Amino acid sequence: MRFDTPALRGAVIGVALTVGGNARAEPPPLPIRAAPALPATAPASGDSTGLPWSDAPARVGGTGDLGDSGVRLGTLGFPYTAVAPPPGLSAEGWSLTPSIAAQVLATDNVDLTVRDRRSELITTFTPGLLLSLDTARVQGIANYAPNLTFYGSDSDQNRIDHRFNGQFLATLVPDALFLDLRGAAAVQAVSGGYAPEGSPAVNRNDQVQTTSFQLSPYFVHRFGGIGTMQLGYALQHVTQDSNGTGSGALTPTGQRFFSDQDFTAHEVYAIGRTGEEFGRLALESRISSTEYDGTGILDGAYRRIATVETRYVIIRPVAALVEVGYEQQRYNGTPPVDINEPVWSVGARLTLSPESRITAKFGHHDGFDSAVLDAVVALGGRTTLYANYAERLTTSAQRAADLLSTTTLDPLGNPIDIATGAPVAQPFANSFMGAQSSLMRIRRGSVSISQIWPRDIFTLSLSREERRPVSVETGTTAFSQTGNSGSLTWSHALTEATTAIGYGQYGTFDSPGRGSGNVFTVSASLATELAPGLSGVLTYMMTNRGDDIASGRAVQNVVLVGLRQTF
């Protein structure tokens, strides 16, 4: 019996851990990475070398069946990623899957407060469009599903939240000229202190909408077996909008730690890679310059880097990695940041099997010494382990742009890591830690293990993130933050049409809006296919939070009922 039941695909988050779709005989000449994830961009995860021996997928999306690949499940209602992929592409190589979802949420504590608890009835409508293309000229996938939310007793909270993921690659001249288009949008709570996997209701004054787009034409030329050259330009635009109020971005003493952000970035880059004629030895040279026209920290900022990276296969499963180069970075804040110094790293890549690989490096980037780890290890036929660790110098707005360059999409339009194939949580959709507009040094490590059986999937995840302010935006204040989180998800296919999902999460956090605290969340869901294309979900969720701001603990109970029709 396959776990990929209609009820699961139509009613909960499904994130494929491998890219599905009908693979083309001749994929694009290089992985789809319009703005290469150079070390200076400090990607969230993944092998930032970008070397040709990377196992990065060469295309995005597709409409293939999720099959028995791993699935990370959601915890509440109908997130925008819940649309099932269509059964196949049309003869023209494209498909458009519309859907409409409606859900009613009842809670006894809509603001998750210790005192002044208010009951509320919230109705949400989610129209959706899932577009898949796989033609000779264009490949990709886009999933757009805004949430139209209406409050029963507080109409001031009515709003539209835009949620989107999309990536497309157009071949302008075969084997030579390409155009890469990417975008993403999501919403998070500015103050933090909510469960990482999602929160049922967040006051609109505590929300920030992040939208990011990237357009990149690039040219590729192969010199036989000697090597490959890539020249490109990337235009990026990111906005972070707190709905014109932003009262959630204030500390208890009235200090602002987040202000609306936006920037337009222009990047030009060149990449040279050696080919198979070099045997065990491979070289990659990169030059990249990114100029920012934005607000706050990114007003007049830039990132410039030139590197040469070497790989040498010592024995077939083990390769040594050495990188040297130079970087320049500038950020506008207090104090201003100017970095002009060499960069370097040394490490190794261990390839255990086509499904298992580990890359570990240590070096100097972004003005400090740091380590990088990316690992995906198949522990038998049913269990997979993922782990990553990275440090970077970045802002919340830059994280949104960097995510576009370090991820591809699964058949549902969800981001997955280019290097490992693991699901990637959008940093601008996670409300666990507070959002700040200052320049931060961010350390993040995570490990997860997933076991898949014919009727069950178990996923255990652990993560830790540290944020330390380096430069503060004028007019705001900045705080160090630490977040530790662990979660366990169990899904069980009761029948071909019905799936039960249980979820538990515990985390400790430091937030500028809430101080130190912890949050515990449990939920139970039942999802079923009522008719072809029609799915229903019933969810109970309990959240318990304590922090330095309020004496006592805030408890919130939620019951949700939803229907989704896919056409």
DSSP 425-489: --GGG--SS----SEEEEEEEEEEEEEE-SSEEEEEEEEEEEEEEEEBPTT-----EEEEEEEEE
Q: How far apart are CA 433 and CA 425, in angstroms?
A: 13
1 in a structural domain: no
Partners of 344 in the β-ladder = 324, 364
Contact 87, 95 (CB under 8 A): no
Q: In total, how many domains does the chain have?
A: 1
Exposure class string for 177-196: b at 16+ Cβ within 10 A, else e: ebebbbbbbbbbbbbbbbbb
- The string of pLDDT tens digits covering residues 250-306 is 777 788 888 899 999 999 999 999 998 999 999 999 999 999 999 999 999 999 999
Both structure tokens of 541:
């969720």
How many CA atoms are closer than 13 Å to the CA of 328, on its beta-carbon side? Answer: 8
Q: Nearest 5°: CA angle at 47, between 46 and 50?
A: 125
CATH number for the domain including 348?
2.40.170
| Residue 520: domain span | 6-566
pTM for the structure as a whole: 0.83
Round the average pLDDT of the chain to a whole number and report it: 81
258 in a structural domain: yes
Q: Which residues of the chain have pLDDT under 50?
A: 1-83, 85
Q: How far apart are CA 294 and CA 261, in angstroms?
A: 8
3-class SS letters over 50-94: CCCCCCCCCCCCCCCCCCCCCECCCCCCCCHHHCCCCCCCCCCCE
Q: How far apart are CA 373 and CA 375, in angstroms?
A: 7
Residue 66, pLDDT score: 34
Residue 16, pLDDT score: 25
Exposure class string for 538-551: b at 16+ Cβ within 10 A, else e: ebebebebbbebbe
Q: How far apart are CA 420 and CA 377, in angstroms?
A: 9
**CB-count burial class (<10 Å; 0-12, 13-18, 19+) for 484:** middle
124 in a structural domain: yes
428 in a structural domain: yes
Contact 165, 180 (CB under 8 A): no
Nearest partner of 52 among 215, 376, 286, judged by Cα:
286
